[in-house]
Structure 1
């Protein structure tokens, strides 16, 4: 197989008119150019130069070979440029998995940050709950996964993934604007024991977390409505159909009025929250993975500050 570097040198010699000029252009010595051309003649079996005492004139064969090589050299240069971009994380495809609330409040800012840094990157987004996303990560269907867990419902991540903390997402006890309890100077979780509750699907970590909180407060919540979409949950609360625990992340983009909210703590006095992480597999060597994790981490930092500045409409209260 012909040496592409020799072909590139040949094209430069033919274009510039001499070994010396080609050497200056390519950063070689004239002797190195001469050696490359001799090697190319041996490889092709062609006489490429009519050599004189002080000159080397390209033959017709040399001009033809140089002409045919130009397109190949351009293609190779493009491939080399793409390879450098891929290695630097400036080009390629990254597949992101996320749960719906983060897909709305966190992921868009991270993707925008990533694309400002590397506009040639293609980002694919898929949604799911943590169990689905962890399975997709382990199967290779996604490169990174944004997931959550509740401290009251411990979840262990697989040993073959790296978990990077992004933010703490406090939960807020949420009731309608006209709810009877909002006129009280102090109220908490136990005061809503007789109310209708709105929760996520029964097998979800959010529903299990609610059940444990309520059990610690001495009651079992009567759940009439279930949805994993916190926009739906909030609208049901706003309509006066029940009460709910709503993550602050769900309100991070501004959900408007119509409800009263109160920070809530568990029976030990700890703030009730869920923890948000980004997971990736350390054996995934794609350069875009650490770049994407960093974009998510930075976007989460800004979002965490925004959540911290937002205050529930009522003063914090403990669960009991």
Structure 2
């Protein structure tokens, strides 16, 4: 009967992540020799070679990659179980790990966490901020309990079948120009901005892809002069008159010297969802989702709508 040692499994996962015994040793607080011994013991237990050893490097085998991938999920589940047992013994109400993206961090999450903390004062709540492509894998592996994510109209997403996906709100994409710009009216057409310099998010992001596809449909390629994922920076650049931008309503702040409006003929939206593993049994999930939904219902208005 095969019995896996969780310590050896965690070591294997860290070696695969770090790419070396020495790197894993630094992350785990072990010596390189101890890591090597644990991997050797793991190889004897499973009966396969997990790493090809070379003079100055190692290479994980297919078996190691498979075990590390599934093992990460098992370790996350074990950590969660250990925390639940500890919380039960100590009388603590539980732990929730939430991922979110920057604009939701400032407009939605604080009020939701305040409500959740008031209702569950003994709960431990952790917050991580990153883009959807970065937080979704963490939800799948169990490192996060739930996450706020978004999808643009022109950049649809497919969701892994292991996830429950719940809509929270829809936000219009707003064209932002300097006050006094000829396009500063409520019926702006994208074609009117074909000659403008654009300020966009980083290349490869959903926002930048959406802008490129939108302009392509209007018959031109946007001349992107500046890039930033910080919408305060984007809007400050617009206010300075160095370009125009397409910003989601959650990222929009009415700055002096600027004007923002939806597109005239083709209003687009960014859709905000909360996702969690369907199999996640964390009792705080329901309370967290309810708090987020209530805050989002109250946020409707100002180019933000209910899904």
TM-score, normalising length: structure 1: 0.65
Is 1:262–2:264 an aligned residue pair? no
Mind listing any 5+ residue stretches in structure 1 that lack a counterpart? 1-78, 310-320
Is 1:201–2:202 an aligned residue pair? yes
For the 8 Å contact 1:137–1:144, the answer to whether it is kept is yes
Give the secondary structure class of the aligned counterpart of 2:247: strand
**Whole-angstrom distance in 1 between the partners of 2:294 and 2:209:** 30
1:241 maps to what in 2? 242
**Whole-angstrom distance in 1 between the partners of 2:266 and 2:223:** 24
2:143 maps to what in 1? 141
Q: Which runs of 4+ in 1 moved over 4 A?
A: 306-309
The 5-angstrom pairing of residues 99-110 of structure 1 reads 99-110=101-112
Per-residue Cα deviation, 1:95-119 (whole angstroms, up to 9, x for no partner): 1100100011110011011011111
Give the secondary structure class of the aligned counterpart of 2:291: helix
Mind listing any 5+ residue stretches in structure 2 that lack a counterpart? 1-83
* Match of residue 272, structure 1, among 245, 268, 272: 268
How many residues are aligned here? 222
Distance 1:306 1:264, change over 3 A: closer
1:112 maps to what in 2? 114
Shift of residue 156, structure 1, vs aligned partner: 0.5
1:83 maps to what in 2? 88
Per-residue Cα deviation, 1:125-154 (whole angstroms, up to 9, x for no partner): 111111111011112121111000012111
Is 1:212–2:217 an aligned residue pair? no
1:299 maps to what in 2? 295
2:229 maps to what in 1? 228
For the 8 Å contact 2:174–2:260, the answer to whether it is kept is yes
Distance 1:258 1:217, change over 3 A: same
**Whole-angstrom distance in 1 between the partners of 2:90 and 2:297:** 27
Per-residue Cα deviation, 1:14-44 (whole angstroms, up to 9, x for no partner): xxxxxxxxxxxxxxxxxxxxxxxxxxxxxxx
Distance 1:215 1:201, change over 3 A: same
TM-score, normalising length: structure 2: 0.67
**Whole-angstrom distance in 2 between the partners of 1:144 and 1:244:** 31
RMSD value, Cα: 2.4
Shift of residue 85, structure 1, vs aligned partner: 9.9
The 5-angstrom pairing of residues 1-320 of structure 1 reads 83=88, 91-182=93-184, 186-251=187-252, 254-264=253-263, 269-305=265-301, 307-308=303-304
**Whole-angstrom distance in 1 between the partners of 2:141 and 2:282:** 15
Task: Give the number of the structure whose alpha-carbon radius of gyration is greater.
Answer: 1
**Whole-angstrom distance in 2 between the partners of 1:187 and 1:178:** 13
Distance 1:157 1:199, change over 3 A: same
Shift of residue 282, structure 1, vs aligned partner: 1.4
For the 8 Å contact 1:85–1:91, the answer to whether it is kept is no
299-308 vs 134-143, which deviates more?
Answer: 299-308
Give the secondary structure class of the aligned counterpart of 1:145: strand
1:14 maps to what in 2? none
**Whole-angstrom distance in 2 between the partners of 1:159 and 1:185:** 41
For the 8 Å contact 1:174–1:237, the answer to whether it is kept is yes
**Whole-angstrom distance in 1 between the partners of 2:210 and 2:233:** 19
